Structure 1
């Protein structure tokens, strides 16, 4: 039985859209607000591959009951097609449009929907594609969460930033020229989405003289997490949930 007083009251007769940030993977890093709203939304939507339910859904296992109606949103492609190809962009845009329509059908029927999102919903999160399509038609709330880079930073032997350090967050999917221009030795840096550029990024860090400051983190907060100096990171492609963290020059080791 859902406690409707725990979710936003519907002023339009329609359901309320929630973007629920589920954190980096450890179920204990869910916020109290995320748990409360999740448990009291009748519909739970989540992104996943064909092969499983996804990390966001797995993180929330203890808070989803048989009374919830689940709405899996299955990606049509992941890495089968180059991400910069027209075919990939078209399939993904169509997927987000269809997913938004599926969520909207519940909202139109007066059912609030909790859309789960790994990490933080507005930090490279898939939820934003649903939000941007529906925000002008439905009341919505975005619940912030523990981002992967904060979970990764907590694994380092010293702080990511101190004193007057500045932080730059960049996607590791960019080309070499853009990566070299974006990494500043005078700033703390977090590189997300490392992927196939792991060897390239290690080389850039070495060229810039910051390799000894750089750390490689894989699957932060999950049972199989790994953390090591970037110089000792495995060769080849990094898994999806990986990042490079370079503490700022103001950090006292």
Structure 2
């Protein structure tokens, strides 16, 4: 235990040694340093965090009132039921109201009333429905029980969103067809124009005709015979028969020998 803490003395420790200086590591520099500087200059704005240097002091007349920061209700509007005119009666005349007195007229109210009733067109009663067992009524038109959608301008027509969706599907199909055609055109053979096709056919026919004429000229004639007849020369005849065995003289009386 003591040896580890206090090592034994040695003569080698008396040898002078060079002092080792600690090498300082290079200073760390972030690669985003220039970018941070640029962002700081771009996003810099006056009075962004601390506010303006001078703040306007509020006047004493505009002091904070009680409940001034609470939300306020909207202005009150008169409410009226839509079917008040159906079962509401005219108001009762006040006690201070006085009827008109002393008015005279020569009008025959009975005859006038009869003529008006005869000439007037009978009014059509408004369709109503009772929604309680006591007979409380409401207008049928505004109840939601009548299909009002048949009176719309676009009733019976295709909705706009369906037309738009149909156009999108059609456009997508056209783009897909064009893409398939383009891919097939790239992989397929080149389609020649009319003029190129005509030139190629003409040249092929011309070559076939020239080739056929050459073959006809080279082939021997079967009907008219050969164009040139080879006449055997005496040298060829003698060379041919010189190799044959000679016959006896008696057998050749034609030569007169």
| Structure having greater relative contact order (Cα 8 Å, sep ≥ 6) | 1
TM-score relative to the length of structure 2: 0.12
> Which of the two has higher C-alpha Rg?
2
Higher strand share: 1
Higher helix share: 2
TM-score relative to the length of structure 1: 0.12
